Each structure stands twice: as C-alpha cells, then as structure tokens.
Chain A
Amino acid sequence: MRSEKPLEQEILDRFFKKLTEREDFPQEMLAQLLQLRREDSLRNGQKVLQALKRDEKSNA
C-alpha cells in the first residue's frame, strides 16, 4: 500500500486531531474516516461519502 508523504501525514494527523477534539463530531463517522485513512481510501469519493452518511445508518 502507498505510504503517506511527510506533508500529507502531517496534515491528516492534524485534521483528525481537530475532529477528535470536537465533541459535536459523530464518533462513528470519525471512526469510518480513520478506517479510510488506514486503507489509503480517503481519495475515494464514494467511500468518503458513505462515511459521512454513517450516522444515518447507525441511527437507522
């Protein structure tokens, strides 16, 4: 799998830190986005959209 470049890593680390610190950001959605990062799928539009809709599925 592709490894993140230092700058990319820095930006994504800070981004997720920011989201983690926000209490109003759904944990389930955050977990999904983190999973996508681990899979190097954050550039996959379909998967990201699904992740951002995750709260609906979990609530349903």
Chain B
Amino acid sequence: MVRKCFKHSSETKNQMPELVIQRLDIMGFRGVSQRKSLLFNGKSVLLFGENGTGKSTFVDALEKLFTGEVYTLDHRAQGLSSQRHGPHIKYTSANPEIAVTFSDGTKVEAGTATSASSETVKRYLEAARQPVYILRRGQLLAFIESQPRDRYELLRPYLALSEVEEVEAVLAKADEQLQAELNISRRELARQHDDLSHQAGLKAGDEVSEPKILEALNNRLARAGRGLATNLSEISTLIQEIDADLSKFGDISKPAAITSLIDALGELFNGPAAINVEPLASSILQLREFQARQTAIIYERVLEDGARWIEEEHRKECPLCEQEMRRFSPEEVVRRARTRLEQAHELLALRQQVQAELDALKKVVGESLSGVERIRRTQLARAPQELRQTTENLLAGIAERLADLVRVVSQPVPNIELGPLHSIGRAFERGEKIESDISQNVQTLRTELESLPSSAAAQSLLQLRDFLSRLKSNWERLGQAWAAFQKVEHRAKVSALAVASFRQVRKEVVGEIFTQVSGDVDRIYYELHKHHESSPLSAASHRNIRLEVREAVQQSINIRADFYTCVDTDPRAYYSDAHLDTLGLSIFLALRRWYGKQYPAFKLLVLDDVISSVDAGHAVRLAEILLTEFSDFQILLTTHDRIWFEHLRDIQNRCGVAQNFVNKTIYSWTIDEGPDLREPEDEERRLREILQNGQPYEIAALSGRLLEHILQEMRYSLRLPVPAKAGELYEIGDLWPPFYREVKRNYSTLYSKAQQTLDALDVSWPLRNWIGAHFNRWALNVPLSVAREFGNAVLSLFQFLFCPDCRRYITPSSTPLGQIACKCGHLIYAAPGRKNQPTTGRDEVISGTAGALKDAKLTSEQHLAWKRAERSHEN
C-alpha cells in the first residue's frame, strides 16, 4: 500500500498569520465604478480573469490604501498619478472608497486617519507602508535590468533599513554641524592670530608665539624708556604702573569729552545747514499759480474719450449732447481737447514734484532731530558740568525750530503756509541764526579745551597703555580661541569616528543580508528550474546567483552568477528572457522572505499576473514554491492564465493548503459594472429575485450561470473526468454529464436525497443554451413555468451542494470515511452503509494520527509517483 502523504519539508507551515484581511471593498477606483468586494475571509485568494477584467484594480486598491500610492501610476511617467488617474472615469466623487477589514474587525479606509487600537494592526500597517509585498509583471525585470545604483534604490525598501538610515542621517547631520563648528572655530583662531600679529607689529610669516610677542612688547617698552617684561603675564602689572604715572596728570578724560562734543556739533552743523525749504516753497507757489489759472475742472477721461470718438468715428455732432458742433469744427474740438489734456498732465507732474520735495525735506528734518537727540544722550552727558548748560540751550533751540518745521510740512500740501515755511527755513540757511549759534558754542568749547593742561608725555603714556591693553586682550582672546578650537576639534574627530563606524557597520550588515538573500535567490531559482537539472544545487547549470554590494561604490548592487563553465558572470549575458523573468521573481520572493523577518506579523504577498513568459512546467514549480514556502502568508495571486489557475487549484490540495485558499474568477468586465466577480450567495439571491418577475430568457440565463458555477466547483471537488478543452473554458454541456454520472455512481447518499433535482436538471439543463445564452426564434415560446422549474431546480441543487455557514461546496472526505461533506460539517452525505461522521479539522487529524500527517505535503514528483503507484496497484 502506497502512502498517500509524504513528508516534504520540516520548515513549511500552513498556519495563517495572526492578522489577515477579511475583505476588500472598493468603489469608484480604477476599473471599479459600483461597489465591489473581494472576500478574502481570512484566506489567500487566487483570482483568475482574462486580460482587462479588473484584476489589477484589487491590487492597486490594496497598494493605494496601505502606501498612499500606486506604483504603476505614481512611478511610471510624468503626468500620471494615482491622485488624478486613480478614480474611475465615471465616478463623480474625487475620492474613491477603498476599505480593508481585518480578521480582528478593524476597518481601515483610504483617506481617513486610522485609529487602530490594536498594536498588531498598527504593526501591520507600518510594515505595509512600503510596497515590498507587491509584484507586478512590469516590475519583474526591473530587478535585473536596473543600473547597480538604481538597483540598490529598488531593493532598499526590502531591507527595512528606514530606522537605521534615520539614525545614520541624524549622526551624519550632527557630524556636519560639528564639522561646521570646527571650521568656524578654525577661522576665529586664524582671526585672533592675525589680530595679535598685527597688534604686536610682527612681520608677515613670523611665527605668533609667546617669545615673539614678548620680544615685540619689550621693543615697545624700551622705546618708551620703561622696564622690560620677562613674560606676557606681566602686562597687567605694566598697565597698573602706567595708570599710576598718568594719575599725576589729573583728569585726562575732560579734554577727550570736549573734543568729542566739538566733533559731534560739527557733524550736526552739516545737518541743519542742509535743510533748504526754498525748492519746496517755490514748487508749491508754482503749483498754486497753475491751479489758479485752471479754474475749470478738467475731466481728463471725458476729454480723452471724446476726442477719440470724434476722430475715429468722424462724428459731426458732440458725443455728449448729440448736437451738431457749430462753433468749432470737429478737428478744432479735438485739438482743443488735446491741449487741455496736456495742461492736465503738466499739473500732475507738478504735484508729483511738490510731493517728492516735501518727502525729501521731511527726511532731512527727521535725521537732524535724531542727531540732536543723539548728542544730548551721549556726548553732552560726558561733557564737563560747567559746559553742559550752554550746549543744552543751543540744542533745545535747534530742536524747537526743527519741531516747528515738522508741524508746517506735516500739513496737506494745499494747507502748507508759505510764510512760516520761509521764516523757519531762513534760520537754517548758511550764516543765519542756527549756524551762528553753533559756531559760537563750538568756539566756547575750544577756548575751554585750550585752557586745559596738556602734555605730550601723557599722550605718549596713553598710547603705550592702549598698546599694552590691546596686546593683553588679544593674547587672552587667542588663548581662549585656541582652547575652544581644541575642544571643538576633539568633538568633530569623535563624531566623524562615530559616523564612519556606523557606515562601516551598516555596509557590513547590508553585505551580509545580500549574501543571505542571495542564498535564497539561488535556492528558489534552482527550485523553479529543478526539472531541467540533473545535478544538485551546488553543481547546477545556473548556480551561485548572488547580489553583491559593490565595495568601491556606496549603495550599489551587482547581480552575478555562474553559468555552466562560465564563472562569475552577468546573467543577462547568457540567460533567456524567461529565465531572467524567473530570476527577477526569485529575487523578489527572497527579498519578501527577508522583509518578513523584520516584520513577522506582516505576512501579505501580492503577485499580480507575474507569469507570462514562462512555460507550464516553471509555472507549476512557482505554484509549489508559493504554496509551500509561503504557506504562512496571506497571498493575493492574480492570473490571466487559465491553465496555471487550474494547476494552482490542483496543487493547493496536494500541498495541503487548500483550506487556506479561496479561488475566484472574474467572469467579465464592463465600464459601468466593473468586474463580474460573482459570489455564490449573490448569484443565488439574484436568481431568487428574477424568479419572481423575470422573463423566461432572463431566468434561464441566470439559472444557467449559477449551474455552470456549481459545476466548475464540483469539477475540482469531485475530480470529474472532463475531456480537455482549449483554454479550459468548460460549459454546462461539458460538465453536467460527468457530474451526473459521478454522483449517481459513487455518491449514492447524495443522489438519493437530491434525486428529484438531479433528474430534473438532467433533462432541463439545455434550456439555458436554448433561451438563456443564444437567440433561438423557435425557443421564444418556452412558457414561464418551464423556465421557473429550471431555475428552482438549480436553486435546489445549490442548497444541496453549498454550505452557507462555511461558504464552501461539499467535497469528498479522505478514506476511511468515504463521505462527502462541507468543511464545517453542516452538509454531510454519508458513504453507503455508514453514518454521518462530523468533519475533522487538520489539527485533530494530526493529533489523531500521532503527528504522522503533520508535514504531509506532496510535491509534483511525489504526486505523480503516487498516481503511478495507485494506477499500477489498481491494474
């Protein structure tokens, strides 16, 4: 007896992840206008549909919801975006509706902030933010054909390095700032260096050192006839000695204060003297005379438009009163209008000139007032007490005159009085009162200054003191700058070390990751092509495929491989297009596995019609890899290849993952209705509705569709022997006879219960073709009752075969039960002579067989071997 189950791999698991998608709801997005739902029911989905039936819409919707983008729109070409081109072209709202409901009941909707309370959902959504779990046909070759640097960018999201890169960026930015601080510190040190060198009078190129500075200091001290210093710290003592000598000269601050006040008054003299009101007064006068001449109001626009109308339209009458122009000819009227317009423009120019002169005068007066205030605040406060009052009186007088002038010129132009303007302005003219008062005051100050005792010796001492003071200050600042520089330099060095260490570690680890991922790529690629290989992986013809981090270039990836005798080569040189496709797929799957290690709770894999150029053998291998190595993933797999779809359904059973899959078909697509993704319950409900008030042909069409759907499911469930047909497009006529025969022959309990329905359908199923699928004039007279009878029989069969609780069709149990039942056991048809046996879950079977079936999986070879063995056994 050949065992039906084989051990395949101890690593494979068929446990679905903790959090899975229950359903995806879409409305108004891409190819879906009306609301459509893809029911995952917590399982993986295998979705078949011909090209252009909306499969990718479900993939795009998941990507848009989780990442905010759709790769094929947002990263394809300029001008394309999911924001603009995502909504269905007939959908009126700008915001399509996309929502995912998870197994814990959390609903995540596009465009609304997710307030996921569960940590698991948060982690899931965080991991799903990078679209590294989605692969489309168009992206397959990108892994292979990209340039090494672009390839790194392409692969980077899979490494889940974002947090690490953030840390690296923060360290690099901190380092940048510290290097910038080091540069500033270096420049400051150089500046202090130059200042000290200049102060000490060193020659260009001389070293700035304590001995050199001391030498310069002693030269200066020697010239002043003073004792020499032995080190620079003695400068403070030298200053104290000079201060003591200077004190013998009395108050030496008085001459400085008087000199400063004289200088300030001299500068002020240039201010008020610059005040000249004459240009303004003259312009105002001119304006007023002009306005007096223009007694009449000038209607500028009327003149302009009137003259133009008369000229352009050759009018003989006035455009305002429509009377004939008698006093002047039209030409004369136009000429006079133009003259008056010119006068109006002259008036405007004059007004602008007056305003400009007024603004200039106000500015000068304002500056003069500020100057007076500055002298009062600073120089006057330091001036000797006995001289302050006179100067204060002078400044008060000037300020008063300036305030008067401000009052006059602050009036609107028509109200400015020319008399006061002239009178005040005259006081500021050269040789007039203000200048005379200032000169008198300055003279008084000079007389006082000359009367003070002055000594060349004091001046000399003052200069020496100033030199020493500056030298001391420069020397101290240089010392501080040097100390600061050393600290900043040390910090910058340490920070550069930290950044370099981080980068080196990151590069090492990334290199190791790629080595690890390369191992997976090599193995997956070998698994896909194993049926062509007679050698083990280490000696395979296509082997040692690896992703290499280029040492010389940062963030750059090469793909290398061995090909027969050619070692370490670019696979593009020798691989066929189909092999390059499968290589791209292998890289993606290996990277997806790696990403899964970083986010263990996120196990979603979406493959959108990735099989196109590979043959059936490779496709089946791929199916096996997906269903075994990714059996703990929730997979959305779309395909337009009917044969591959059928293979996958078959392999699901053999790999022991059938219970994890929902297989769906998109039957058709229209722009208004979207994909026809019929669910059994929906079909049943619609048939019940149409049975109430539909026409015979409508009832026949819907009944036929549901019957076809039932038979498609039964074909897999009961493994019906159906003659092969191109494209696997089986119809009722192909499926009904084997189904009816099989039930009648091998499932007698079901047959006895459903006999009436089955026999009725065996007669009536062609009705669908006669009136439901094709137009036949002779079939138009089929009575409604006949159509309803057919419809009711289909509904009855549906109820016998489909369980609404577990949403599964019945399927035969393995021996020894021999019964046929749904998954939850609510529908059971016992084997002949036996009682109903409740269905058993996988875990119960494993425990019941003491773990013997724990890893029961069949590979294609094992399956074929088993089939061969069974056949020989039967023979």
Please report A residues at the B interface, Cβ cutoff 8 Å. Answer: 4-8, 10-12, 14-15, 18-19, 22, 24-26, 29, 33, 42-45, 48-49, 52-53, 55-56, 59
Across the interface, A42 reaches (CB within 8 A) one of B160, B161, B167, B509, namely: B167
16 A–B contacts from the bound complex (CB under 8 Å): A7-B509, A7-B598, A8-B163, A11-B509, A14-B505, A14-B509, A15-B505, A18-B505, A19-B498, A25-B497, A42-B170, A52-B174, A52-B175, A52-B494, A55-B487, A55-B491
Which residues does chain A contribute within 8 Å of B513, judged by CB atoms?
7
Which residues does chain A contribute within 8 Å of B174, judged by CB atoms?
45, 48-49, 52
Interface residues of B in 494-517 (CB under 8 A from A): 494-495, 497-498, 501-502, 504-506, 508-509, 513
Which residues does chain A contribute within 8 Å of B864, judged by CB atoms?
none
Q: Say yes or no: B167 contacts A59, CB within 8 Å.
A: no
Q: Say yes or no: B171 contacts A56, CB within 8 Å.
A: no
Q: Say yes or no: B509 contacts A10, CB within 8 Å.
A: yes
CB-nearest residue of chain A to B178: A52
Q: Say yes or no: B495 contacts A43, CB within 8 Å.
A: no
**Interface presence of B407 (CB below 8 A):** no
Evaluate whether A8 and B597 lie within 8 angstroms (CB atoms) in the complex, with A15-B505, A29-B494 already known: no
Q: Say yes or no: B509 contacts A43, CB within 8 Å.
A: no
Give the docked Cα–Cα distance between A19 and B501 (Å). Answer: 8
Which residues does chain A contribute within 8 Å of B494, judged by CB atoms?
24-26, 29, 52, 55
Q: What are the 9 tightest A-B residue pairs by CB atom distance, in nearest-first order?
A: A49-B174, A43-B166, A14-B505, A42-B167, A15-B505, A18-B501, A5-B598, A52-B495, A45-B170
**Interface presence of B173 (CB below 8 A):** yes
Give the docked Cα–Cα distance between A10 and B502 (Å). Answer: 12
Give the docked Cα–Cα distance between A30 and B513 (Å). Answer: 27
Give the docked Cα–Cα distance between A14 and B163 (Å). Answer: 15
Interface residues of B in 438-495 (CB under 8 A from A): 487, 490-491, 494-495
Which residues does chain A contribute within 8 Å of B5, judged by CB atoms?
none
Which residues does chain B contribute within 8 Å of A24, judged by CB atoms?
494, 497
Which residues does chain B contribute within 8 Å of A25, judged by CB atoms?
494, 497-498
**Interface presence of B751 (CB below 8 A):** no
Give the docked Cα–Cα distance between A56 and B178 (Å). Answer: 12
Across the interface, A7 reaches (CB within 8 A) one of B160, B178, B508, namely: B160
**Interface presence of B599 (CB below 8 A):** yes
Interface residues of B in 163-194 (CB under 8 A from A): 163-164, 166-167, 170-171, 173-175, 177-178
Which residues does chain A contribute within 8 Å of B491, judged by CB atoms?
52-53, 55-56
Q: Say yes or no: A43 contacts B163, CB within 8 Å.
A: yes
Give the docked Cα–Cα distance between A48 and B487 (Å). Answer: 18
Q: Say yes or no: A49 contacts B502, CB within 8 Å.
A: no
**1/0 per position for B744-774, CB-CB distance to A under 8 A?**
0000000000000000000000000000000
CB-nearest residue of chain B to A45: B170
CB-nearest residue of chain B to A13: B505
Which residues does chain A contribute within 8 Å of B501, judged by CB atoms?
15, 18-19, 22
Which residues does chain A contribute within 8 Å of B160, judged by CB atoms?
5, 7
**Interface presence of B252 (CB below 8 A):** no
**Interface presence of B325 (CB below 8 A):** no
**Interface presence of B159 (CB below 8 A):** yes
**Tally of B interface residues using CB under 8 Å:** 32
Which residues does chain B contribute within 8 Å of A5, judged by CB atoms?
160, 163, 598-599
CB-nearest residue of chain B to A44: B170
Give the docked Cα–Cα distance between A48 and B498 (Å). Answer: 11
Give the docked Cα–Cα distance between A45 and B495 (Å). Answer: 13
Known contacts A7-B159, A14-B509, A49-B178; 8 additional CB pairs below 8 A are A4-B163, A12-B167, A15-B501, A22-B497, A42-B170, A52-B498, A55-B487, A56-B487
Which residues does chain B contribute within 8 Å of A4, judged by CB atoms?
163
Which residues does chain B contribute within 8 Å of A48, judged by CB atoms?
170-171, 174
Which residues does chain A contribute within 8 Å of B167, judged by CB atoms?
8, 12, 42-43
Which residues does chain B contribute within 8 Å of A43, judged by CB atoms?
163, 166-167, 170
Give the docked Cα–Cα distance between A18 and B502 (Å). Answer: 9
CB-nearest residue of chain B to A40: B163
Which residues does chain A contribute within 8 Å of B161, judged by CB atoms?
7
**1/0 per position for B132-173, CB-CB distance to A under 8 A?**
000000000000000000000000000111011011001101
Give the docked Cα–Cα distance between A7 and B511 (Å). Answer: 12
CB-nearest residue of chain A to B175: A52
CB-nearest residue of chain B to A37: B167
CB-nearest residue of chain A to B503: A15
Interface residues of B in 591-605 (CB under 8 A from A): 597-599
Which residues does chain B contribute within 8 Å of A59, judged by CB atoms?
487
CB-nearest residue of chain B to A51: B174
CB of A28 to closest CB in B, whole Å: 11
Which residues does chain B contribute within 8 Å of A33, judged by CB atoms?
498
Give the docked Cα–Cα distance between A45 and B506 (Å). Answer: 19
Give the docked Cα–Cα distance between A50 and B742 (Å). Answer: 79
Across the interface, B177 reaches (CB within 8 A) one of A8, A11, A49, namely: A49
Give the docked Cα–Cα distance between A25 and B502 (Å). Answer: 14
Give the docked Cα–Cα distance between A47 and B490 (Å). Answer: 19
CB of A1 to closest CB in B, whole Å: 12
Which residues does chain B contribute within 8 Å of A44, judged by CB atoms?
170
CB-nearest residue of chain A to B181: A53
Q: Say yes or no: B170 contacts A11, CB within 8 Å.
A: no
Across the interface, B164 reaches (CB within 8 A) one of A11, A49, A53, namely: A11
Which residues does chain A contribute within 8 Å of B495, judged by CB atoms?
52
Which residues does chain B contribute within 8 Å of A6, judged by CB atoms?
597-598
Evaluate whether A14 and B508 lie within 8 angstroms (CB atoms) in the complex, with A6-B598, A7-B598, A25-B497 already known: yes
Which residues does chain A contribute within 8 Å of B599, judged by CB atoms?
5
Give the docked Cα–Cα distance between A29 and B496 (Å). Answer: 13
CB-nearest residue of chain A to B167: A42
CB of A30 to closest CB in B, whole Å: 9
CB-nearest residue of chain A to B492: A52
Give the docked Cα–Cα distance between A19 and B494 (Å). Answer: 10
CB-nearest residue of chain B to A17: B505
CB of B54 to closest CB in A, whole Å: 36
Which residues does chain B contribute within 8 Å of A53, judged by CB atoms?
178, 491
Q: Say yes or no: B170 contacts A15, CB within 8 Å.
A: no
**1/0 per position for B597-622, CB-CB distance to A under 8 A?**
11100000000000000000000000
Q: With a 10 A CB-CB cut-off, give which of B163, B173, B491, B497 has the most chain A CB atoms.
A: B163
CB of B223 to closest CB in A, whole Å: 42
Which residues does chain B contribute within 8 Å of A11, judged by CB atoms?
164, 502, 505-506, 509
Give the docked Cα–Cα distance between A27 and B495 (Å). Answer: 13
CB of B724 to closest CB in A, whole Å: 49
Which residues does chain B contribute within 8 Å of A52, judged by CB atoms?
174-175, 178, 491, 494-495, 498
